[in-house]
């Protein structure tokens, strides 16, 4: 499966998720998942999580407190017992986890850093996707808008691509992909939010987005910082930027 364990103790396990693997199962999910890997390596987590995440027979999200998109790689943390699950869930919900992503984005940025503060809602004509109301005239296209804020800093850029450090301050679905697309710098190879002709430096077949690090305290007062190296497709794309 290619999942790498970065760290584990009695309370948590931290992994580097490769692209192409879903966090957990569901009606539309095919193939092995991170949840499958965790259950195999840490079988005690089978009953860890919210009762609402599965049926009486199956817990679809054992130990999982946050997710990465199927084709996004990088750091994920999971809980090995109910106490740590509840504590981690509370930290993510109350924005006490620092998340840093790297993205290969399209185009040349005029501003080397900035903040994208645009509410994100569900597209009415395609509930699987998310969108923003940039002009104030698109209320009929999205619904259920919620506050969303993303900080970004350009680390390196050429004429066509840029390597960008991204820090989401909220945790909306597809937030980074939606926000970068909204400022006309979609994540490279992201055909969902960048369109069929989105820039793409390789034939990777997935958006070039990587969860580089997570920082949080658990237990309280013990600061933990976990980092994950990006996969080869991302590294090669980043090295190609002048």
Distances (CA, A) of 50 to 19, 40, 45, 80, 92: 26, 20, 12, 13, 15
Q: Which is the catalytic residue, given 10, 36, 47, 69?
A: 69
Gyration radius (Cα) of the chain, Å:
18
Q: Which residue has the tokens 């923003």?
A: 132
Other CB atoms closer than 10 Å to residue 156's CB: what's the count? 12
Going by C-alpha positions, the residue among 115, 71, 31 that lies closest to residue 210 is 71
Q: How far apart are the first and last CA of the chain?
A: 33
Query: Which of helix, strand or coil describes residue 194?
Result: helix
| Catalytic residue flag (residue 233) | no
What number of CA atoms fall less than 13 Å from residue 96's CA on the CB side?
15
Please state the length of the chain: 242
- Which 8-state DSSP code applies to residue 53? G
* Catalytic residue ranges: 69
């Amino acid at each position: 499966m290619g999942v790498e364990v970065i760290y584990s103790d009695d309370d948590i396990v931290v992994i580097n998720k490769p692209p192409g693997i879903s966090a957990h199962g569901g009606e539309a999910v095919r193939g092995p998942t991170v949840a499958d890997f965790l259950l195999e390596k840490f079988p005690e987590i089978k009953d860890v999580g919210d009762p609402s995440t599965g049926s009486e027979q199956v817990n679809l999200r054992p130990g999982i407190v946050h997710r990465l998109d199927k084709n996004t790689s990088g750091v994920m943390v999971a809980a090995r017992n109910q106490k740590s699950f509840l504590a981690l869930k509370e930290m993510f919900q109350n924005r006490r986890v620092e998340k840093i992503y790297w993205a290969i984005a399209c185009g040349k940025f005029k501003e080397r850093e900035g903040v994208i503060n645009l509410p994100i809602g569900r597209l009415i004509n395609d509930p699987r996707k998310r969108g923003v109301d940039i002009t104030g005239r698109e209320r009929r296209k999205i619904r259920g808008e919620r506050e969303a804020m993303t900080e970004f800093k350009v680390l390196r850029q050429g004429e066509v691509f840029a390597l960008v450090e991204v820090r989401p301050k909220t945790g909306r679905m597809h937030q980074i992909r939606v926000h970068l697309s909204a400022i006309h710098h979609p994540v490279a190879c992201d055909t969902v939010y960048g369109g069929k002709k989105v820039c793409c430096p390789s034939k990777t077949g997935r958006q070039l987005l990587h969860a580089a690090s997570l920082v949080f305290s658990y237990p309280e007062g013990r600061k933990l910082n976990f980092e994950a190296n990006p996969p080869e497709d991302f590294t090669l794309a980043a090295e190609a930027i002048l």
